[in-house]
Structure 1
């Protein structure tokens, strides 16, 4: 007895609206061909877009499945959600954690084991680890509000790990850039995040490739991001 394969996300979309599936399929094929980004980076950019825009249905499922096919584990995606939560907001990231947990069950994948952070990384008291924020950035935050600066200290401490299984500096920069594009925060933070990606080894053309890829998540958002990026040159 032959068991039929489960329909793909695009096939499920075609059952809802075949003409729309044509639009989505042609768009995905075009941007997926961008050569400067790795399959892992494309997955991270897609999942970040899903969380920022609250698109946790067929699109999220398709992006996670594409990531799994490219060797990206659900542990990697969970690490991404932990990282991006302070930029997109914890409630939005919580919805992503809920959905990836549901998908692990649906796909028969084990729940990844998680190593908790050291106490000094989650502390805000005298036993807290030093802030990893650059002095210039921390000074600007302190001028805005001391409590806000302390909040940034905490968020930055909790994301200092660069051990096995964590995002690279380049990946962190590209993902943070993408949050700026989705939320149109295209001034200082966008400039800082572009710099982070470049410190991680991204070339100017790699950064531009990320913006090309992000056009699929809103062309007018990407348009404004292009204007901001080109103004930096």
Structure 2
């Protein structure tokens, strides 16, 4: 854990102690344990925290504390906006909208102006003729087509909407960690979980890095993480058998 993150934590815990001092001790001990995980950067830890907040509708004190901890570690609110745009179709636009509303309130209260971003082009926003090519792998599109043609079209659209890699966007490794964590929150631990673990690995994460992301997620619900471990270990065993 960086020095800046360490200095942010006591202030958050002091505020929480005003609500319940014993609970603040519990939170502090838990945070120290997971924040010490060495394979993840402070930026990745912030992204995982904010993703958990949005998925679990925890947009009060915890959300604000995670934003403040991120700011002290060099993660801007523009970075968090990029994350919210990215996770929106996995967590749901309704959930992401609430996250944006709360983030905008935080920015206004603290005099923060988010950075400007380029609008999406028309070929990304449309479907059918004239639409940009789908960034989805052919195998994934084939499985989606078997489910439903309209769902495939919807999935193509969503993939185009968040396919940008310009300034202010997040790396493939970070995308993989955020996406697989959403699977753990929602317990969608089959095809999508496998795809998102694969994204993290393609982005340069090692298996131990992926395990670190799951270790970090234990603080957001130990029983969900338990099921995540069962799925991850089984998937890695499948990969080993295939080689």
Report the TM range for the smaller structure's normalisation: over 0.9
Number of matched pairs: 227
1:148 equivalent in alignment to 2:151: yes
Query: Secondary structure of 1:16's match?
Result: coil
Query: Secondary structure of 1:8's match?
Result: helix
1:109 equivalent in alignment to 2:112: yes
Q: Separation in 2 of the partners of 1:108 and 1:11?
A: 23
Q: Separation in 2 of the partners of 1:51 and 1:90?
A: 10
2:47 to 37, 44, 48: 44
Q: Separation in 2 of the partners of 1:115 and 1:164?
A: 10
Structure 1 length as normaliser, TM-score? 0.96
1:171 to 174, 199, 203: 174
Deviation at 1:86, TM superposition (A): 0.2
Moved over 2 A (4+): none
Q: Separation in 1 of the partners of 2:111 and 2:189?
A: 40
Deviation at 1:168, TM superposition (A): 0.3
Partner of 1:213: 216
Query: Secondary structure of 1:101's match?
Result: helix
Structure 2 length as normaliser, TM-score? 0.92
Query: Secondary structure of 2:115's match?
Result: coil
Q: Structure 1 residues 116 and 154, CA, compared in 2 at 3 Å: closer, same or farther?
A: same
Deviation at 1:164, TM superposition (A): 1.7
Deviations along 1:71-108, one digit per CA (max 9) or x if unpaired, are: 10000000000000000000000000001100001111
Q: Separation in 2 of the partners of 1:111 and 1:225?
A: 34
Deviations along 1:14-58, one digit per CA (max 9) or x if unpaired, are: 001000000001101110010000000000000000000000011
For the 8 Å contact 1:40–1:67, the answer to whether it is kept is yes
Q: Separation in 2 of the partners of 1:8 and 1:118?
A: 43
How do 1:12-27 and structure 2 match up within 5 A? 12-27=15-30
Runs of 5+ in structure 2 lacking a partner? 1-9, 237-243
2:87 to 80, 84, 88: 84
Partner of 2:66: 63
Deviations along 1:158-204, one digit per CA (max 9) or x if unpaired, are: 11111121110000000000000000000110000000000000000
Runs of 5+ in structure 1 lacking a partner? 1-6
